[in-house]
Amino acid sequence: MSDYYETFDDFGADIDDAGGILLVDMGTLRDVHGVNKLGVHIRTAIKNELASRGIGTLPELLPTYQHESVRLYRLGSSIAGVIDAVLHPSATGDDNLRRTAGSDAQATLDAIRQLVC
């Protein structure tokens, strides 16, 4: 994985190499965006830049501080399906979680909810 990113496009390969989800800090995203502060409009712009490249973020609302971590993942991936199912509860989402988790569905669902809620 890269320790240095020049553009938002550079995250894609590392997300793939990391199995579909990559942990980065907000300072890294801020630096790639080329700014010094993480105001609300900058965080929105960063999220939009990532989304335009097919990359989602968790948490959905990006943190304010540079040392806080963010998970980056591919939109439309199986990981994105799990995240969506947890963040937007529905019967269909629960079915997806059960299929994804296999026989340990409830324990996995509880663990995922603890991570994202």
| C-alpha span between 36 and 31 (Å, rounded) | 7
The rounded distance, in Å, linking the Cα atoms of 92 and 68 is 32
pTM above 0.85, yes or no: no
- Cα(86)–Cα(79) distance, rounded to whole angstroms? 11
Domain annotation covers residue 2: no
Does residue 52 sit in the same domain as residue 96?
no
What lies within 8 Å, CB to CB, of 4 at 6+ separation is none
Q: What is the mean pLDDT of each run of 10 residues along the chain (117 residues)?
A: 81 93 96 95 97 96 96 93 89 84 65 68
Q: Do both 15 and 60 map to the same domain?
A: yes
* Structural domain containing residue 50: 8-74
Q: Is residue 65 domain-shared with residue 90, that is, in the same domain?
A: no
**CA nearest to 39, candidates 15, 63, 19:** 63
One domain, residues 106 and 87: yes
Q: For the chain, how many structural domains are there in total?
A: 2
Q: Degrees (nearest 5) of the Cα angle 50, 98, 59?
A: 25
